[in-house]
Structure 1
Amino acid sequence: MHKYILRRILQAIPLLIVISIVSFALIKLAPGDPVSSFVTPDMSPEDVERIRQNMGLDQPIYVQYWHWLVNMLSGDWGYSLVNHRPVLTLIMERLPATIGLMGSALFLSLLISVPLSMYAAARKNKAADKVLSLISYIGISIPSFWFGIMLIYLFAVKLQWLPSMGMRTIGVNSFLDVVKHGILPCTVLVFMNVSVYMRYIRSQTISQLEEDYVQIQYAYGSTTGTVLVRHVLKNTLLPVITIFGMSFPELIAGAFITESVFSWPGMGALGITSVFALDYPVIMGITMISSVMLVIGNLLADILYGIVDPRIKTMK
């Protein structure tokens, strides 16, 4: 297994380099000039050019990329053009908020979607299955920002049960206060995730229920619940593992739209702010850390495949 993990890590290095090159090129080709953030009306063209030289933007793009790559590998991720602070410091400050929100949403999504999907599959084309499928289609169809605004209007404005934005109440420093602020954004993420996850897991469960080993268990007198929990569940975990691997980058990158709607001080909100402000160093930092987490998520998924189903030979 150690050789397999090492080989996957070595294979990921060229992939990350390609991602960094493409991302860097796209950012440089995007409209807008980061120098404009520092320009004032009384500046002369010579002053503007001097700022451009100090930022290294007067050099060819491949030279700029090389300097960025060397600095990043040495731990210097650059400075934010907006906050004038180290990019790595900004990311580490926002990371706990994103991990808390996204981790809770992912855990609750899997906890809810797995039993609901298996329940719907066991009652295929019956009333319960049709209701859950309808809810799933609604969750897939509606925009997350609209759903978030509706929740804010109902629970924060009308009923005044929950706070509408932020992570903490000013002057209050308690875990319960953080939980109250996280209920609405977490609800949006869970509803959207469960709606998508149910389609994968339900489909896999239905295919497993049609297998011969399930019919044999029924012939032995096993109940539907016993067959689902003891036999079908293990094979149904494969799409769950795939979902986990795909969702792993979100634990770091955050949910851009949801965090912006609820003013959640995480990586997603930082990313949106950086894009609109043309804060290229922060954008590159978030892009690269998300890419690394995607590679790690896929690696963990492959390892879990081999653990859940030994027939999948991924460790050799």
Structure 2
Amino acid sequence: MGGYILKRLLSAVPVLLGITIIVFLIMAMIPGDPATAILGSYATPENVARINRDLGLDGPLIERYLTWLTNMLGGDFGRSFALNRPVLDEVLDRFGATLILAGTAFVLCAVLGILAGAVSAAGQYGVGDRAITFAVLLGISIPSFFLGMMMILVFAVKLRWLPVSGMYAIYGGGDLPDLLRHLVMPASALAVVATGVVARLSRSAMLEVLRQDFVRTARAKGVPERGVIWRHALRAAMVSIIPVLGIQAGFVLSGAVYIEIVF
């Protein structure tokens, strides 16, 4: 297992390198001059040349890319000209709250998605299966940001049950109940789509496992249906579910950006 994980990690290196090259080339081809944007009304040819020289923008493209890549690998992500602070400091100041939001949403989508998929598969074509399938399809079809705005309108504006903004992380002096109250709406809105995806794929994985011989053998030996579903079938289906959870973790983390804008 360790060798397989190492092999997969090493195979990701050229992919990530290719992504950095593509992104760097796209940024280089965007119309406009960073020096002119920084200087504004003071963008004289002399000042533009000076800024380009100070920032290393006057060198060949390959040289600029290698300099940027070397600095990034060393932890230097550059400096924000809008805030006059290192970019890494800005990211770290805000990443804690993002990680809490994404982590909470991921736990919700993993637990609820797997449970919904297993229950749906266990009662295939029954009332529960149809109800879960309808709820899953409805959740997948609703954009997270729209659901977030509707939740704000109902639970914050109309009912005044939950706060909209002002979350303080525990490490920033806030308490756990306050943190949880602020997480209810954004984490729920962020988790809905991912929960639907996990539920659908969990149902498919469970149905495939339930048709296998070892499940029929367990039933023939008198194992209770609950034990067949939760102890045997779900454990075997997790082999197919875990990769889906890994993919959804990335989607949840990236989707947190839009949810943070709404809230």
The structure-2 alpha-carbon separation of the partners of 1:191 and 1:6, relative to structure 1 and needing over 3 Å to count, comes to: closer
In structure 2, do the counterparts of structure 1 residues 251 and 148 end up closer, same or farther at CA, with 3 Å as the change threshold? closer
The structure whose residues are more often helix, as a share, is 2
> For residues 37 and 177 of structure 1, what CA distance do their matches in structure 2 show?
41
Cα distance, 1:102 vs. partner? 0.9
Deviation at 1:8, TM superposition (A): 3.9
Deviation at 1:10, TM superposition (A): 3.5
CA deviation vs aligned residue, 1:131-176 (integer Å, no higher than 9, x gap) = 111111111111111111000100111111111124239x983232
Once structures 1 and 2 are overlaid, which stretch shifts more, 5-14 or 58-67? Answer: 5-14
Q: Distance in 1 between matches of 2:88 and 2:41?
A: 32
- Cα displacement (A) at 1:84: 2.1
Counterpart in the other structure of 1:109? 109
Q: Is the 8 A contact 2:190 2:255 kept in 1?
A: no
Inter-partner Cα distance in structure 2 for 1:24 and 1:136? 39
2:138 match: 138
Alpha-carbon distance in structure 1 between the residues aligned to 2:196 and 2:56: 47
Question: By how many angstroms is 1:206 displaced?
Answer: 1.0
Q: Cα distance, 1:110 vs. partner? A: 1.2
Aligned to 1:155: 155
CA distance in 1, matches of 2:223, 2:31: 64
**In structure 2, do the counterparts of structure 1 residues 5 and 226 end up closer, same or farther at CA, with 3 Å as the change threshold?**
closer
Residues 234, 2 of structure 1: alpha-carbon distance in 2 compared, 3 angstrom cutoff: closer
Q: Distance in 1 between matches of 2:166 and 2:202?
A: 34
How far is the alpha carbon of 1:251 from its aligned partner?
A: 7.0
Could you tell me whether the CA contact under 8 Å between 1:123 and 1:129 is conserved in 2? Answer: yes
Distance, in Å, in 1 between the alignment partners of 2:252 and 2:90 is 16
Could you say if the C-alpha distance between residues 5 and 193 of structure 1 is closer, same or farther in structure 2, counting changes exceeding 3 Å? closer
When residues 22 and 132 of structure 1 are mapped into structure 2, their CA distance, relative to the original with a 3 A threshold, is same
* Distance in 1 between residues matched to 2:164 and 2:134, nearest whole Å: 28
Q: Secondary structure at the match of 1:255?
A: helix
Question: Which secondary structure does the structure 1 equivalent of 2:168 belong to?
Answer: coil
Q: Structure with the greater relative contact order (CA < 8 A, sep ≥ 6): 1 or 2?
A: 1
Match of 2:242 in 1: 241
When residues 188 and 61 of structure 1 are mapped into structure 2, their CA distance, relative to the original with a 3 A threshold, is same
Cα pair distance change 1:134/1:253, threshold 3 Å: closer
Helix, strand or coil at the partner of 2:79: coil
Give the direction of change, closer, same or farther, for the CA distance of 1:249–1:29 in structure 2 (3 Å limit).
Answer: same
Provide the aligned C-alpha RMSD in A. Answer: 2.4
Cα drift, residue 250 of structure 1:
5.3
Whether the 8 Å contact between 1:95 and 1:252 is mirrored in structure 2 is no
* Aligned-partner residue type, residue 167 of structure 2: M
Q: Quickly say closer, same or farther: Cα 1:254–1:98, change in 2 above 3 A.
A: farther
Which residue of structure 2 lines up, in the alignment, with residue 220 of structure 1?
221
Residues 6-37 of structure 1, C-alpha deviations (whole Å, 9 max, x = no match): 44444333332222111211222234543343
Partner of 1:97 in structure 2? Answer: 97
Q: Tell me which residue corresponds to 2:209.
A: 208
Residues 200-223 of structure 1: CA deviation (Å, up to 9, x unaligned): 000111111122222222223333
Q: Distance in 2 between matches of 1:257 and 1:115?
A: 27
Matched residues in 2 for 1:44 and 1:20: separation?
32
Identity of aligned residues (%): 36
Distance in 1 (CA, whole Å) between partners of 2:220 and 2:251 is 44
Contact 2:79 2:86 in 1 (8 A): yes
Give matches, 1:1-316, under 5 Å: 1-168=1-168, 173-249=174-250, 253=254, 255-262=256-263
Alpha-carbon distance in structure 2 between the residues aligned to 1:179 and 1:31? 44
Unaligned segments of structure 2, at least 5 residues: none
Cα distance 1:95–1:128, how it changes in 2: closer, same or farther (>3 A)? same
Equivalent-residue separation in structure 2 for 1:120 and 1:134 (angstroms): 11
1:26-57, Cα deviation, whole Å (9 max, x unpaired): 22223454334323325423223322332222
Structure 1, 190-199 or 247-256: larger mean CA deviation: 247-256
1:90 is displaced (CA, Å) by: 1.6
